[in-house]
Chains A and B, each alone.
Chain A
């Protein structure tokens, strides 16, 4: 009798604790989704504000006033307009800047791939004197703040123009050279890590089959390391697209990139927020597209670069 009671009470206890566990699980789930929702709101709010601003009339934004409930800035435009997109080139020559950015970023991407694949190949496959020094030298460039070499670099450009008559400032080649050099240290290290995972037997076999070392590199190694090359190319493109510091000093009307051109919407006289938001969206598109398509490669590259390097 007593034993029976004990057993039944134990049974109910079990039941209760299972129920408790179940409610605890449900509460945890709800908290999890609430947390995720909160994160999404914080991440996305500025983007929603940018999109909403780009569809507002400049009048609406200029007249807004946080202290007056009837005029307070709203998420939904009071009057919906596409004018900011249609007249993207009107106040600021944004399409010209867009073209400049495309040319400079593609050029950077091209040269950065070529230069870093050969260097990475040498670092991955050959043993030579000064290899550690080269690797350290490459990595050390990441330490220096851009401003530290901007001043002498600017003076160097000025002097080259004076003594050799070669204008590098405000030219595409000058900017591509600059950005290629910014992109190659990280690209070399990333590609070297990638090439280290490609077995050496493959290029040895190619050379036995009669390929020259350069031929082996181009015919066998490059196709095999396509994902790494894609990642490096996109990294270089995005870097050139986004760079501000050097662009603000070294580019002028003829080569100004979107990253600095966009600042022209706000002047002492006028703040054209709605047009600026529309331009913000337009200039984000190439970066977002590249990133979305190649997300896996880039994330892998960044993560392995940060955890192994």
Chain B
């Protein structure tokens, strides 16, 4: 940049960024801020086109959510509980499977490249394909899951998977199947970044395989593990497709915030209430991420 005047370069940089900034302003930031305002209104389908005339209820929607007296509030809190359960099962399980397979794929064997490509299939398959196939697999009368559970004598009668109390379990199983390859991909890259000399030195010192795993592999994977955790926590609270598609739109007891807000806003047409729940969801995400980042920073100070 030596030849150019600084001010001119700066102005050019703004021009370069402008289209991206405008797009994000229009689709992300204005709607988010405006959504926060809508959450203070009692905006429904009748007031939608004259939205300025919608009653300004201040924190009314939020009070409804947390007072415990209204069904919508109880169901929303239930959906938050569900998404925590969902994440507490899928994230660790996906990580462990991903790590085990990454360790497996980090060894030399015939057809390794091929297998490494194949395991990415669930990750790249469109959500609507993968979860519709799992919906087919989980069908009570014609599905594979019940076929094998019956065959191995684990159940006596076909189970209903996609409605009622087993719905969340079904979503969790399908999501783990779809989610672990991403963890595996990242962990494999992490494994390949560990210098081989570390293991050689440990072997000379007589460390067992387990000790090598505990003292070298796990600590060296800590940075990618933290990134994975951060991404997975964010994505966990975005969960929508797996519930909506697998359960065929009738989510029932298994609602998570996104599906419940969707129903409240676009089926019951309570836009104000839907926005209030979205704001709560965003605050929740921001708090969790702040906690994670803080612990991440503290951990890096210590080491």
Q: What residues make up the interface of A, taking CB atoms closer than 8 Å to B?
A: 29, 32-33, 35-36, 39-40, 42-47, 49-50, 53, 61-62, 64-67, 72-73, 114-116, 118-119, 121-123, 125-129, 134, 137-138, 141-156, 158-159, 162, 177-178, 180-182, 184-185, 188, 204, 207-208, 213, 238, 241-242, 244-245, 248-249, 258-260, 262-263, 266, 273, 276-277, 280, 283-284, 287-288, 291-292, 295, 299, 302-303, 306-307
Report Cα–Cα, A302/B231, bound state, in Å.
12
Q: Which residues of B contact A138 (CB under 8 A)?
A: 20, 24
B279 beta carbon closer than 8 Å to chain A: yes
Could you say which of B128, B189, B266 contacts A307, with CB atoms under 8 Å apart? B189
Q: Are B278 and A147 in contact (CB under 8 A)?
A: yes
Residues on B with beta carbons closer than 8 Å to the beta carbon of A182? 27
- Asked whether B136 is an interface residue with its Cβ less than 8 Å from the other chain, the reply is yes
Residues from chain A with a CB closer than 8 A to the CB of B285 are 143-145
Q: Residue A126 contacts which of B10, B136, B234 (CB distance < 8 angstroms)?
A: B10
Q: Is the CB of A287 within 8 A of B224?
A: no
B189 with A147: CB separation less than 8 A: no
> In the complex the two chains form, is B136's CB within 8 Å of A53's CB?
yes
Contact of B28 among A32, A67, A181, A258 (CB under 8 A): A181
A149 to B34, CA, bound (A): 9
- Indicate if the CB atoms of B261 and A147 lie closer than 8 Å: yes
A36 near B265 with CB under 8 A, answer no
Chain A residue contacts of B141, Cβ below 8 A: 64-67
Contacts of B142 in A (CB 8 A): 61-62, 64-66, 73, 273
Pick the contact of A36 from B115, B125, B237, B261 — CB < 8 Å? B115
Question: Looking at the complex, which one of B16, B43, B274 makes contact with A121 (CB distance below 8 Å)?
Answer: B16
- Which partner residue on chain B sits nearest A142 by CB separation? B234
B227 at the interface (CB under 8 A from A): yes
With contacts A46-B130, A46-B177, A66-B158 known, is A144 near B185, CB below 8 A?
no
**Contact between chains at A284 and B126 (CB < 8 Å):** yes
Determine how close the nearest CB of chain B comes to the CB of A164; give it in whole angstroms.
Answer: 14
What is the distance, in angstroms, from A66's C-beta to the closest C-beta of chain B? Answer: 5
Q: How far is the CA of A195 from the CA of B293 in the complex (A)?
A: 27
B300: min CB distance to chain A, Å: 15
Distance to closest chain A CB from B246 (angstroms): 11
Find out whether the CB atom of A263 lies under 8 angstroms from the CB atom of B275: no
8 pairs of residues in contact across A and B, judged by CB atoms under 8 Å = A36-B111, A65-B142, A73-B142, A119-B17, A142-B234, A153-B31, A180-B23, A259-B126
Task: Check B12–A126 contact: CB distance below 8 A.
Answer: yes
Chain B residues within 8 Å of chain A by Cβ, number: 101
Query: With A73-B147, A207-B3, A259-B126 in contact, do A244 and B271 touch (Cβ < 8 Å)?
Result: no
**Assembled-state Cα–Cα distance A150/B35 (Å):** 9
B274 contact set on A, CB distance < 8 A: 151
Contact partner of A280 among B14, B132, B140, B266, CB < 8 A? B132
A residues within 8 A CB of B109? 29, 32-33, 36
Q: Does B207 contact A (CB under 8 A)?
A: no
Interface contact B282-A145, CB-CB below 8 Å: yes
Say whether B63 faces chain A, with CB atoms less than 8 Å apart: no
**A302-B185 contact given A66-B146, A119-B17, A244-B241, CB 8 Å threshold:** yes
Considering the chains assembled together, what is the distance between the CA atoms of A142 and B275 in angstroms? 18
Asked if B164 is at the interface of the complex by the 8 Å CB criterion, the answer is no
Residues of the A chain whose Cβ atoms lie less than 8 Å from the Cβ of B51: 155, 159
Does B96 interact with chain A (Cβ within 8 Å)?
no
- Minimum CB–CB distance from A249 to chain B (whole Å) comes to 6
Q: How far is the CA of A45 from the CA of B130 in the complex (A)?
A: 12
Please give me the residue from chain B that is nearest to A212 by CB atom: B12
Residues from chain B with Cβ under 8 Å of A208 in the complex? 3
Q: Which residues of B contact A40 (CB under 8 A)?
A: 115, 118
Interface residues of B in 143-202 (CB under 8 A from A): 143-144, 146-147, 150, 157-158, 177, 181, 185-186, 189-190
Chain B residues whose C-beta falls within 8 Å of the C-beta of A148 in the assembled complex: 32, 35, 278-279, 281-282
Q: Taking CB as reference atom, which chain B residue is nearest A159?
A: B51
Verify A262–B234 contact, CB threshold 8 A.
no
Which chain B residues numbered 224 to 281 have a C-beta less than 8 Å away from chain A? 224, 227-228, 231, 234, 237-238, 240-241, 244-245, 248-249, 257-258, 261-262, 265-266, 271, 274-275, 278-279, 281
Report how far A226 CA is from B173 CA in the complex, Å.
39
Chain B 28-61 near chain A by CB (<8 Å), digits 1 or 0: 1111101100100001000011010000000000
| Residue contact B234 to A143, C-beta cutoff 8 Å | yes
Given contacts A244-B127, A273-B136, contact A151 B35 (CB under 8 A): yes
Q: How many whole Å from A205's CB to the nearest CB in chain B?
A: 11
Contact flag A145-B132 (CB < 8 Å), given A39-B101, A65-B142, A181-B23: no
Are the C-beta atoms of A177 and B23 separated by less than 8 Å? yes
From residue A60, how far is it (CB to closest CB) to chain B in Å?
10
Is the pair A149, B281 in contact by a Cβ cutoff of 8 Å? no
B19 at the A/B interface (Cβ < 8 Å)?
A: yes
Q: Which of B125, B177, B185, B266 contacts A249 (CB 8 A)?
A: B266
- CB neighbours (8 Å) of B128 from chain A are 242, 244, 258-260, 262-263, 283
If A207-B3, A307-B224 touch, does A146 touch B258 (CB 8 Å cutoff)? yes
When C-beta atoms are compared, the residue in chain A nearest to B21 turns out to be A134
